[in-house]
Homo-oligomer: A and B are copies of this chain.
Amino acid sequence: MKRPLILVTNDDGMFAPGIKALVSIARNFGEVVVVAPNSPQSGKGHAITIEEPIRLHRVTVFDDIVAYECSGTPVDCVKLAKNVLLKDRQIDLCVSGINHGSNASINIIYSGTMSAAMEAALEGVDSVGFSLMNYSFDADFEPSKKYIAHIIESVLNEGINDCNLLNVNIPDLPSKELKGIRICRQAQGKWDEEFKEGIDPRGQKYYWLTGKFYLDDERPDTDISALNDGYIAVVPSHHDLTAQAALSSNPHLIA
């Protein structure tokens, strides 16, 4: 049987421990090709590069694994992988991450990790974004590995029904406290922004984005609930933003 072709990407760049962990898992299930940004791209959402050219450079990072650095966004990485580097081949799975930090709830729309995964899904490739709820370089990815392996194997063997994109968030817990996997919905939440105001060395004012996450959802079946309960949260996701209920309830807008 032909080995599956697995595209690995992320938004933290090629030297983040998270992508190294993901490559080490994915390579057990198929042929891995890595295309990742050459600079940190957290918070880039679904940005694409259209006003300037993009560069691709072959690099040696993960032993014998074929890997390219890309000067663009995470979405650019996937577009270049699909349409240039691997254009004559079928990609069987795209995995993105492991992100350093949560992409649960509303974070999915700001996340470069999830936008890369969504772009692959748009291209018809089953796709999974993985995030560990620990921002630090020293985050411990070991406890999550067997679950990530299970998800990769399940998707390769049985696919994803009724969508082709999964947003997987993993609590930052030791192995014995990780309770398993729960399939759940995106929690309603938002960021309460605060901008740190400062004066730069030239005397000019600047603003620097900061803030904290605010949950506005007590439903028991959300990703945040699962994470709080010690479960890995898997949200089956798609790119149709239509608010179904609102289709018939706004006749006043018609003219």
Known contacts A47-B44, A204-B55; A241/B252 CB under 8 A: no
Q: Return the CB mask of A21-61 against B: 1 if under 8 Å, else 0.
A: 00000000000000000001011111111111111100000
CA distance A75 to B55 in the complex (A): 26
Contact B186 A53 (CB under 8 A): no
Chain A positions 97 through 128: 1 when the CB is less than 8 Å from some CB of chain B, otherwise 0: 00000000010111000010010001100000
CB contacts (< 8 Å) of A235 on chain B: these are 241-242
A255–B181 CB distance below 8 A: yes
- Within the complex, what minimum Cβ distance (angstroms) separates A182 from chain B? 7
Q: Number of A interface residues, CB 8 Å?
A: 89
Say yes or no: is A3 at the interface (Cβ < 8 Å to chain B): no
With a CB–CB cut-off of 8 A, which chain B residues contact A47?
Answer: 43-47, 73, 110
Contacts beyond the supplied A163-B243, A166-B253: 19 A-B pairs with Cβ under 8 Å:
A46-B46, A47-B73, A49-B209, A53-B208, A54-B207, A56-B205, A108-B241, A122-B190, A154-B252, A161-B250, A180-B255, A182-B254, A183-B247, A183-B253, A234-B250, A234-B253, A236-B247, A237-B243, A238-B242
